[in-house]
Chains A and B, each alone.
Chain A
Amino acid sequence: MTSPIAGGVDCDLHPAVPHLTSLLPYLNDYWRDQVTTRGMTDLISQSYPTNSPISSRPDWRPAQGKPGSNLADMQHQALDRFGTAYGICNPLYGVQMVFSEDMADAFCRALNDWLVKEWLDKDDRLRGSIVIPVQSIEKAVAEIERCAQDQRFVQVLMLVMGDMPLGKRHYWPIYAAAERLGLPIGIHAGSAYHNPPTSVGWGSYHIEDYVAQAQAFQTQLTSLIVEGVFARHPKLKMVMLESGFTWLPPFLWRLHKFWRGVRMETPWVDRAPLEIVRSNIRFSLQPVDAPPEPETLNRLFDHMQSDELLLFSSDYPHWQFDGDEVLPQGLSQELVRKIMIDNPHATYPRLKVGHDPERWPPVFGQDHAQN
């Protein structure tokens, strides 16, 4: 077994919203009334059914409630266990899935405020990702700017399957705001289900949706690279979260080959795809879609041609590994240090900035503008 080293950065933790009523204190009167009058109960995505084995390791599943909904459990099972210095919270509550951009905006704001009060304020190690209502660029940018005042928000979070490919120019104001504020864009597995969850239509099974996350990440990387996001925003980092990474080398072989063939179509792509990935794209460690033999995995690392691409993640409480095997077997100590400490700090500049409570005037509930 490869042991984790103390002081690492866990880049993918999933605190769960227990119930939609948990967000009521963070909604204004109008939206609180909407939730209760219209009988809304919860926002659970098909991407992570609560009782699916993927959604929680068996020994991490609480006796009651949703996996990941209890801070003490997360501390005991992940933060303390792996000696984590910083843990980045990526809430996967289904707030982006509703089709009304106003409702999505209200829920996103409530979710971000909930994260601050219920998690970040209660454990100094925790950091947050800003969940945004991606259907409205104006509202998404406003929410990024609002939350970015708190240095504990270290990234902007989007889902890998949304309304449009993420490279589309429509989304660029989000990227401009993120780059300006020193926030990477985290792209997490999961679908808003505004499109079929695979590029060949609706499958029959949850397992198909989960496997297809990897293909969705591939198409998003194509879009982000060929639309020219990183020519326009060279300092912007994007982190593929719970994406898998063993597909990356053959994906880049193919993209590179076609880019050489038809690059006249996208003349603004000023560097080879592999170079863009090396400078701007990072991947969370879990899941490791590879056989357990260290020899095969080390070959795959060799195919990736860089030791700077991976960021440590437990994917807590999702079930990606058993026991303490949060790191795959056979990693060198040097690579462990890169993955757990050096690479995350190079990706998330805000981790180094201390948190100053005075700079975070909380804007809760009643103060929200009614949409």
Chain B
Amino acid sequence: MNIQIRERPDAASSTGIKTAIADCDIHPARATKDELYPYLAKRWHAHLETFGIQAYQGMMEGPPYPKAQPNASRRDAYPPEGGPQGSSLSFMQKQHLDPNNVALGVLNPLATGQGLRNQDLAGAVCSAINDWQIEKWTSKDSRLKGSVVVANEDGASAAAEIRRRAGDKNFVQVLLLSRNVEPLGQRRYWPIYEAAQEVGLPIGVHAFGFGGNPITASGWPSHYIEEMVGHSQCQQTALASLVLEGVFERFAKLKMVMVEAGFGWAPSLAWRLDKVFARLHSEVPHLKRKPSEYIRDHIWWTTQPMEDPESRDHLFQTIEWIGWDKLLFATDYPHWDYDEPSRVLPAGVSDANRQAFYLDNAKQLYGIA
């Protein structure tokens, strides 16, 4: 797999004007291991050299579920000047942003301080990543916008970092991951939600993360594909936790984006929540509305990896259950399961829905003129 047997159309040379799109999930990478050092205090350089990064999982190098290709990224996305995929702005512009007419690209850095066990290090690395996003990416290409990454297990540190970035137009959201030490609705994470609501940033919850819990409720599975598919189930339970803990009741203006976790499961989860809530609402009296109503009002969904049923009617019916106004197009560049913008939506979508799907929903949510 992933051996290119068919030439990918060279987007750069295609003729005609493409409609502008928003890409709500782009993963910037560091070209070298020490690219972050200028943004970190000296003590952390020595710490990292001596002890490395210790997350809530056992491997110092390499993942326990090896990816199916290097860096889980496209083999054609290595920059000509070297470094891993996604580490060069000029090559990202040439390969993706320019030819696909990306008007808004939301950066979601994944290798940050999130999921680290040492909370001081986590906070330092996250803050450094945020500075790095500005200096390397958003200040050099105004189409790109950053995500504020935070030490997710340390509410006070995370809230301080969010407030430090308040009003900074380089950032359009706060980024969390779905897998944490506890389900995301738990109170240890509420300072993050309070700060995000205060500064007016949505929270993106990207699939993945390290929290120390097995990726199934029945223990650790064997294969990479189980981890890949399992992120969707993690996202479902994380969202159920957010709803049932009353996060959207308490933080009524908070908006959240489910990133790279699928959206096809949303209707079934919402129906299940409503059905069980009808029986068990006395256990969660802090909820004033049906669970599905919180989801409808507070949750947006990025599209990649796009739901891909055999019948396009099944796709359209599913989207109608969620709402065309809630989907945000994303490619996941430069990862291997990248969605090609021109091939994601089947024929039969109205111009208005197409425009909302590819661009307008994102501009509205992220406050981009």
* Interface bits A245-267 vs B (CB < 8 Å: 1, else 0): 01101110111111101111110
Nearest CB of chain A from residue B222's CB, rounded to whole Å: 7
Contacting pair B1 A165 (CB below 8 A): no
Q: Does B214 sit at the interface, judged by CB under 8 A?
A: yes
Residues of B within 8 A of A207 (CB): 244, 276-277, 280, 283-284
Contacting pair A199 B268 (CB below 8 A): no
Q: Complex: how many Å from CA A219 to CA B227?
A: 9
Instruction: Report B4-63 residues with CB < 8 Å from chain A CB.
Output: none
Q: Who on chain B is nearest to A215 by CB?
A: B233
Nearest CB of chain A from residue B338's CB, rounded to whole Å: 11
Instruction: Choose from A198, A200, A246, A299 the contact partner of B271 (Cβ within 8 Å).
Output: A246
Contacting pair B305 A212 (CB below 8 A): no
Instruction: Report A211-237 residues with CB < 8 Å from chain B CB.
Output: 211-212, 214-216, 218-220, 222-223, 226-227
Q: Which A residues are closer than 8 A to B by beta carbons?
A: 52-54, 160-168, 191, 194-208, 210-212, 214-216, 218-220, 222-223, 226-227, 244, 246-247, 249-251, 253-259, 261-266, 287, 289-291, 299, 302-303, 305, 319
Contacting pair A214 B268 (CB below 8 A): yes
Whether A204 touches B245, Cβ cut-off 8 Å, given contacts A246-B271, A265-B225, is yes
User: A54-B279, A199-B230, A207-B277 known; 18 other A-B pairs, CB under 8 Å?
Assistant: A161-B218, A164-B219, A165-B219, A200-B180, A203-B240, A204-B245, A211-B237, A215-B233, A215-B236, A218-B232, A219-B233, A222-B225, A246-B268, A258-B228, A262-B68, A262-B224, A289-B271, A289-B275
Nearest CB of chain B from residue A243's CB, rounded to whole Å: 11
Residues of B within 8 A of A299 (CB): 317
Residues of A within 8 A of B271 (CB): 246, 289-291
Whether A226 touches B226, Cβ cut-off 8 Å, given contacts A254-B262, A303-B314, is yes
Instruction: Choose from B211, B224, B272 the contact partner of A200 (Cβ within 8 Å).
Output: B211
Q: Complex: how many Å from CA A171 to CA B335?
A: 35
18 contacts between A and B (CB under 8 A): A164-B218, A164-B219, A196-B213, A196-B214, A197-B217, A198-B241, A201-B181, A201-B213, A203-B185, A203-B241, A204-B185, A204-B186, A215-B233, A216-B216, A226-B222, A246-B272, A249-B309, A258-B305
Q: Does B324 sit at the interface, judged by CB under 8 A?
A: no
* Interface bits B292-327 vs A (CB < 8 Å: 1, else 0): 000000000000010111100010011000000000
Q: Does B116 sit at the interface, judged by CB under 8 A?
A: no
